[in-house]
Amino acid sequence: MLTCLCWKWGPLFSADYVNRLQSMLARHLHIPHELVCVTDDQNGINPSIHCEPLTQFTDTPRCRRRMLQYSEAFVSRFGSRILSIDLDVVIVDDLTPTVDRAEPVVCWCVGYACVYSGSFVLYDAGALDGLWRLFAADPEGFPRKVQPRGVPSDQAMLNHYLRGMNVAHWTEADGFVTWFGDGYAKLEKHGMGPSRTDLPPGARIVVLGSADKAVLDDGQYAFVREHWRS
């Protein structure tokens, strides 16, 4: 059984995002799985979705509170194999061959940035417990060590921890797409950006950013209207 783990807090994403994610997984993931949502408000979330109360690090900035997902003690209560997945994604084709693999950790290496994305991470419960322990031991100092300037995210800490390791990974050739929304306009020089309206051949999942959730809310692209639904 694969546990698909998502997070929802605050007013930015409504319960509908969680419900639509469950629906997309049901249509496009053909192995036994369950969706678990860690949230501070489960109102409106489909009762068939396992909701876990968000009680730790609730006031930390950005997505840092998601570091808890790497704690073996936390995630092992849901299962032994975890897929951490963002709410602002659109699954457009079969994800089964993408996640039906056995390596202890698999990350999406974003091509133009050469970083592992925090939006989609597959791992054994406990495989990243060392990262959690570093953070939990010093939840203010460890992030600053990773990124002295700005507000370090869970993604920055994940990349810091995995640096130098031989990590199994996906690339855009495995069907990952990111470029829709105004926030990606600066990537036009890399052959991506909001001027492109069609998905490339072989696309399986479109990963957005919270600053570009209007792509979903406005439904301006055909792939959103077709796939991002309950």
Q: What is the DSSP letter of 43?
A: T
Q: Extract the tokens encoding 197.
A: 């309206």
Q: Which residue has the tokens 């990350």?
A: 107
Task: Please indicate, yes or no, if residue 212 is contained in any of the structural domains.
Answer: no
Q: What per-residue confidence (pLDDT) applies to 197?
A: 63
Quote the Cα angle for 173-97-155, to 5°.
60
Task: Please indicate, yes or no, if residue 59 is contained in any of the structural domains.
Answer: yes
The total number of structural domains that make up the chain: 1
Q: Compute φ and ψ for 226, nearest 5 degrees.
A: -80, -40
Task: Please indicate, yes or no, if residue 227 is contained in any of the structural domains.
Answer: no
Q: What per-residue confidence (pLDDT) applies to 199?
A: 83
Task: Please indicate, yes or no, if residue 143 is contained in any of the structural domains.
Answer: yes
Q: What per-residue confidence (pLDDT) applies to 183?
A: 52
What phi-psi label fits residue 79: left (phi over 0), alpha (psi between -120 and 50 degrees) or beta? Answer: left
The pTM for the full model equals 0.92
Task: Please indicate, yes or no, if residue 36 is contained in any of the structural domains.
Answer: yes
Q: Which residues of 24-58 are buried (b: 16+ CB within 10 A; e: fewer)?
A: bbeebbeeebbbbbbbeebeebbeebebbebeeee
Q: What per-residue confidence (pLDDT) applies to 170?
A: 97
Q: Extract the tokens encoding 163.
A: 């640096």
Task: Please indicate, yes or no, if residue 180 is contained in any of the structural domains.
Answer: no
Q: What strands, in cross-sheet order, belong to the sheet with 176-177? A: 89-91, 205-207, 176-177
Digit-by-digit pLDDT tens for the chain (230 residues) are: 999 999 999 999 999 999 999 999 999 999 999 999 999 999 999 999 999 999 888 877 778 899 999 999 999 999 999 999 999 999 999 999 999 999 999 999 987 778 999 999 999 999 999 999 999 999 999 999 999 988 889 999 999 999 999 999 999 899 998 765 555 555 555 555 555 667 888 999 999 876 678 888 888 888 999 999 99
CA 174 to chain centre: 16
Task: Please indicate, yes or no, if residue 53 is contained in any of the structural domains.
Answer: yes
Give the domain CATH number at 31: 3.90.550.10
Q: Which domain holds residue 37?
A: 2-91+103-171
